[in-house]
Amino acid sequence: MTASKKEMFREYLASQGLKSTSQREIILDEFLRSDAHPSTEDLYLRVRKKHPQIGYATVHRTLKLFADCGIASVRNFGDGSTRYESIAEDEHHDHLVCQSCGLIIEFEDDQIEKLQEKVAGTHNFRVLDHRLELYGLCEKCQ
């Protein structure tokens, strides 16, 4: 899984005439080993610990490349920062977001997926991506 993402990224770079650099490798490694939903800032801070010479702009640009090539998707949980999430090709998952402590729980539900397709069908709409977030209070915060 991890190996195939690194593969996908290299292939994407090659296909676009872009270059493989040590910074991009380092950032991808850190991204794959990182929190589920890092913001650019989050990932930059992590990368900087081991590689202080890598700049914020490079992390930012590299995360956009991840999104472009399909190994990450862009999320926004309402806290004002854009987050990136590593994705597997065939799997969707959604989120429970605790508005008190910020806890994020991931879940998957095939029935909901199917109903989404059904709704889209009634509007002759072709779904390419979706986002479902449930906001509220986690067990501890209630």
Residues in the site for its own copies, rule: CB under 8 A? 74, 76, 78, 96, 98-99, 105, 107, 109, 111-112, 115-116, 119-120, 123-139, 142
Using rule CB under 7 A, residue 78 touches DNA? no
| Three-state DSSP class for residue 140 | coil
Interface stretch with DNA, choices 47-55, 94-102, 110-118, 127-135 (CB under 7 A):
47-55
Contact of residue 54 among DNA, its own copies, none (CB under 5-8 Å per partner type)? DNA
From the CB of 55, what's the least distance to DNA, in Å? 3
**Quick check: 120 and 127 in contact, CB under 8 A?**
yes
Using rule CB under 7 A, residue 49 touches DNA? no
From the CB of 84, what's the least distance to its own copies, in Å? 13
Backbone torsion region of residue 16, taken as left when φ is above 0, otherwise alpha when ψ lies between -120 and 50, otherwise beta: alpha
Helix axes 22-32 and 2-15, enclosed angle (nearest 10): 150
| Three-state DSSP class for residue 38 | coil
**Interatomic CA distance for residues 85 and 11, integer angstroms:** 20
**Quick check: 60 and 40 in contact, CB under 8 A?**
yes
Binding site for DNA (CB under 7 A): 13-14, 17-24, 39-41, 53-58, 60-62, 64, 80-82
